[in-house]
Structure 1
């Protein structure tokens, strides 16, 4: 089994994309990040395959400081694949702050990484992956309307970005990084806002478009506006817009939050996989 590292995203894509296309919804995170790497939106990405006799057995991807993402093609050799991944990551001196993948793969990696490095794993996010093909338009809508975010909305979105990280238990991003990221979101016309009586009360973002699908992410309503149905109506309405251009939408939910999972199922999202993000501490 050979660990083959790639410096050219397009060469890596030749190997990875046929595999990713077979489960475009389940592998949407990996595929969407790969598209962003090809577009030059990440510096120094890690891209690698594990191969044997020309056959791809696993895919490895990381855009520091974001999580390591793993796809195991041959699950019958899960342990062997992870041993090869870890051996080579250690040889490269790669810092792995966290891993995100389907649950069996993430936990297998984390247990072995913990044993090799002494870094203790911790649960950052227990995630359900959902797919939407058609919106349930029988839902009772909340009042208001949607619009795309503009430059004038940047201060509010920057504030909500940090509050979103606090709510979800994610590491808090530096203010300058948040400012740059939000500016890019606006430039790419990725943020949808829900307004009621001229006040922005909820938001969501589209992310990681692939050939047939797009991800719904960063769904946030401030505490003072919650329990009024704004997020559900916004996601439903804006997903209808997204489905005009894509065959399906996907999103990740926090499985420890039964309310959000219930809301997304009411909209029409169906659970297709379980994922987990695990962090590492000494």
Structure 2
């Protein structure tokens, strides 16, 4: 066996049997593979549709050094890799005939893999999004908070959560994934959505959270209807769900913010979130790229 070897599988349990310790070694940085594999483990791999996910891990000297996953039709998601490692993976996936719509990874890894994929397949990488990963330091609730109070979403809020989740997906250009109804049901049952409501009891913002894996909890989504923004509601809801994550034992409470949205980035920094690294997303097209 070569000293640097990529292993591919569609068996989630086999993947976790090899890669779990590696993923747990840096919970904040590995939030995406941790949360996605936990969802697949608890809800079944058919959560993302009829196409089975693909997983992979890189072994070097008997130790796992990197990993990836892809849940069709989404992009390939990678943990940090060096340039030689991205080249080897791109060649391997191209030779195996794996179609890739794009890649998502830390900034350097995404750029290196996009270039390697273009060399291997001729596909043109097109930059789509850049996000910043934040980790909670010391939680600092806004002072003064907006009028109202926070509370956990309940069954009576289901229709609202479904509507807001669909609106959130439409705003960021993504579908509802596993389905808005299923999303709401799972999170209501697990008490993993915080609402901020006005003094009259009207909900005005929500913030959700992932299950805890390796002490890591990811805050997402955070959504306030457009006509209610700019009043501090999103910050208040995020504080509520962050406080609940800490109370649940979360040691790495993280979230992503779109770098094209300076308002949200400023908000998260004000309430105590600190930068971990930046992530970049490319889509691959076989046609000519933008001029």
TM-score class normalised by the smaller sequence:
0.7 to 0.9
How far 1:208 sits from its partner (Å)?
4.5
Given that residues 125 and 283 in structure 2 are in contact (C-alpha distance below 8 angstroms), is that contact kept between their aligned partners in structure 1?
Answer: yes
Q: Does residue 140 in structure 1 map to residue 135 in structure 2?
A: no
Q: Does residue 220 in structure 1 map to residue 223 in structure 2?
A: yes
- Distance in 2, matches of 1:192 and 1:138, equals 16
Given that residues 208 and 241 in structure 2 are in contact (C-alpha distance below 8 angstroms), is that contact kept between their aligned partners in structure 1?
Answer: no
How far 1:32 sits from its partner (Å)?
1.9
Match of 1:184 in 2: 186
- Distance in 2, matches of 1:204 and 1:84, equals 39
Q: Does residue 36 in structure 1 map to residue 20 in structure 2?
A: no
How far 1:230 sits from its partner (Å)?
0.6
Structure 1 unaligned segments of length 5 or more: list them. none
Which sits farther off after the overlay, 97-106 or 56-65?
56-65
- Distance in 1, matches of 2:272 and 2:85, equals 36
How far 1:234 sits from its partner (Å)?
1.5
Which string of whole-angstrom CA distances, capped at 9 and with x for unpartnered residues, describes residues 9-68 of structure 1? 333223322222332111111222222233243232211122344243431212222331
Given that residues 37 and 45 in structure 1 are in contact (C-alpha distance below 8 angstroms), is that contact kept between their aligned partners in structure 2?
Answer: no
Q: Give 3-state SS (helix, strand or coil) of 1:64's partner.
A: coil
Match of 1:195 in 2: 197
- Distance in 1, matches of 2:6 and 2:216, equals 30
Q: Spell out the pairing of 1:234-245 with structure 2 (5 A cutoff).
A: 234-245=237-248
TM-score of the superposition, structure 2-length normalised?
0.85
Given that residues 75 and 102 in structure 2 are in contact (C-alpha distance below 8 angstroms), is that contact kept between their aligned partners in structure 1?
Answer: yes
Which sits farther off after the overlay, 120-129 or 194-203?
120-129
Q: Give 3-state SS (helix, strand or coil) of 2:147's partner.
A: coil
Say if 1:122 and 1:159 are closer, same or farther in 2 by CA, change over 3 A: farther
Match of 1:26 in 2: 29
Runs of 4+ in 1 over 6 A off after TM superposition: none
Match of 1:54 in 2: 62
Given that residues 141 and 236 in structure 2 are in contact (C-alpha distance below 8 angstroms), is that contact kept between their aligned partners in structure 1?
Answer: no
How far 1:190 sits from its partner (Å)?
2.3
Given that residues 59 and 65 in structure 2 are in contact (C-alpha distance below 8 angstroms), is that contact kept between their aligned partners in structure 1?
Answer: yes
Q: Give 3-state SS (helix, strand or coil) of 1:256's partner.
A: coil
Say if 1:56 and 1:266 are closer, same or farther in 2 by CA, change over 3 A: same
Which string of whole-angstrom CA distances, capped at 9 and with x for unpartnered residues, describes residues 103-154 of structure 1? 1001111122233334332333211111113211463211122222234433
- Distance in 1, matches of 2:161 and 2:285, equals 30
Calculate the aligned-residue CA RMSD, in Å.
2.3
- Distance in 2, matches of 1:198 and 1:156, equals 13
Q: Does residue 70 in structure 1 map to residue 73 in structure 2?
A: no
Q: Tell me how many residue pairs correspond in the alignment.
A: 276
Structure 2 unaligned segments of length 5 or more: list them. 47-51, 287-291
- Distance in 1, matches of 2:211 and 2:190, equals 12
